[in-house]
Amino acid sequence: MKIKFAKVFALMLAAMMVMAVAACGGQTPAPAAPAAPAESAPAAEAAPAPEAPAASDDGPKKVGISMPTKSLQRWNQDGSNMEAAFKAAGYDVDLQYGGENEVPVQISQIENMIAGGCDVLVIAAIDGDSMTEVLATAKDRGIPVISYDRLIMNTDAVTYYATFDNWKVGTFQGQFIVDELDLNNAEGPFNIEFFTGDPGDNNINFFFGGAMEILQPFLDSGKLVTPSGQTEKSVVATQGWSTENAQSRMENLISSNNYGPGRTTLHAVMCSNDSTAQGVTNALVNAGYTAENFPIITGQDCDIVSVKNMLAGLQSMSVFKDTRTLASKVVEMVEAILTGSEPPINDTTTYNNGTGIIPSFLCEPVVGTAANHRELLVDSGYYTEAELQS
Ligand code: BGC
């Protein structure tokens, strides 16, 4: 049984490694570190690879997977992709979603995973700062923790971090606006508003930081203008990354700045992801904008709703992050942890969670538009053509 499991596992792992290397495009250069909340934390050397935990028994190992919510398409995909990949590799899986982004629910699910004998935890935290206590228990029990997509802050229990190049996501969004408005040549000024995500998600420091690295010079020169005056990350944050919250803030911006067709022109809205972009789009459609005069709207995730909006001319771009790739990287990490071998790591400088640098693997994001959606999303098997039809 043991030998058979090992053989099957080795075959699966080899297949997944080929997929992941092809999809991730190998090593990614580390981006400049943004001003993350952890910046005042002492710089630390990357932690050495942990010892393989002592095998508890000969049966399959159990992986606890904690995702933040079922209410957003991407986390359902992340969860089911990982569950399938781990099961195919011979693991038992305990997959849980934290209600509707409910921190206490997520914490009690993780407590149950620890009590239920999980050998490894893979966690996408709702609030990156909420895990210190529960993960202290995991550490005491020698259970390694992989921080998934979002960095878990202020706990030394995090073993590795698997994510996308989040800074690059932001620079793609900023650069898209620069190119579409031809900011290097056009005279301007152009009106822009900003929306980022939940303040408890460390990723917004990277998304917003990356976008602002590109756009700030144009704000400074006056070529870009934000009529609302709202350009601070804390002010443009969206609680829970919620579409409804983004929509109501956009509605307020429309009325207080008199935006609309035939009124003050709004040229662009920088949104850090698709759920916020969808709220902005709803508000703009309600204000009378159509595909013919729609402002440039950025996004991230290539959610089905947003891909449909792109095809209808109601969102300009999204950033595609292939969750299949991330899932297969995490399977590789878990295997390395459990066998005491070298995990896939391509960044040891960028992500400090307040206790030191967390060794990370950053997958590559890609710009998605109506023009390349078929090749990127349909030909790759991510969606079927039918799923993208309105
Ligand atoms: C993820 C994005 C996602 C957002 C909202 C972020 O941490 O990186 O892909 O759109 O959370 O769930």
Q: What is the pLDDT of residue 52?
A: 52
* Strand ranges, E, within the chain: 62-67, 92-97, 120-123, 145-148, 158-164, 190-195, 224-225, 268-271, 296-297, 318-320, 360-363, 366-368
Low-confidence residues of the chain: pLDDT under 70: 1-58
Strands 92-97 vs 190-195: parallel, antiparallel or unpaired: unpaired
Output phi, psi for 261, to 5 deg. Answer: -60, 130
Residue at 265: amino acid letter = T
pLDDT score for 390: 76
Q: In whole angstroms, what is the distance from residue 187 CA to residue 207 CA?
A: 27
The pLDDT value recorded for residue 53 is: 53
**Phi, psi for residue 137 in degrees, rounded to 5:** -65, -45
Q: What is the pLDDT of residue 57?
A: 58
Q: Is the dihedral of CA 174, 180, 183, 184 positive or negative?
A: positive
pLDDT at 59: 86
Taking a C-beta distance cutoff of 8 angstroms, is the pair 318, 300 a contact?
yes
Pocket mutation for ligand 1, best pick of 201, 302, 326 (most atoms within 8 Å of C-beta): 201
**Residue 83 in contact with residue 139, Cβ under 8 Å?**
no
Task: Please tell me the residue having the least CA distance from ligand 1 atom 9.
Answer: 301
Residues 44-71 pLDDT 10s: 344 444 555 544 556 899 999 999 999 9
Amino acid at 287: A
- What the block records as the tokens of 144 is 């390694």
pLDDT tens per residue across span 144-189: 999 999 999 999 999 999 999 999 999 999 999 999 999 999 999 9
Q: Are strands 318-320 and 366-368 parallel, antiparallel or unpaired?
A: antiparallel
Could you give the CA distance from residue 314 to residue 340 in angstroms, rounded to a whole number? 49
Element housing 234 (H / E): helix 233-236
DSSP-derived secondary structure for 189-224: -EEEEEE---TT-THHHHHHHHHHHHHHHHHHHTSE
- Among protein residues, the one whose CA lies closest to atom 3 of ligand 1: 273
The overall longest dimension of the chain from CA atoms, in Å, is: 72
Q: Are strands 190-195 and 296-297 parallel, antiparallel or unpaired?
A: unpaired
> Any idea what the Cα angle at residue 296 is, between residues 164 and 234, rounded to 5°?
60
User: Phi and psi of 369, rounded to 5°?
Assistant: -140, 175
Conformation bin of residue 120: beta by default, left when phi > 0, alpha when psi is -120 to 50: beta
* Domains along the chain with CATH numbers: 60-164+322-358 (3.40.50.2300), 167-320 (3.40.50.2300)
Ligand 1 pocket, mutate which of 71, 73, 74, 165 (most atoms under 8 A from CB): 74
Assess contact for 243 and 299: CB atoms under 8 A: no
Q: CA-CA distance, 211 to 175, in Å (whole number)?
A: 8
Dist. CA 67 → ligand 1 center (Å): 11
| Partners of 97 in beta bridges | 67
Query: Does the global pTM surpass 0.95?
Result: no
Element housing 108 (H / E): helix 103-115
Closest ligand 1 atom to 169 CA: 8
| Rounded distance between C-alpha atoms, residue 107 and residue 100, angstroms | 13
Ligand 1 neighbours, Cβ below 6 Å, are: 72, 74, 149-150, 197, 201, 203, 241, 273, 275, 300-301
Residue 255 three-state SS: helix
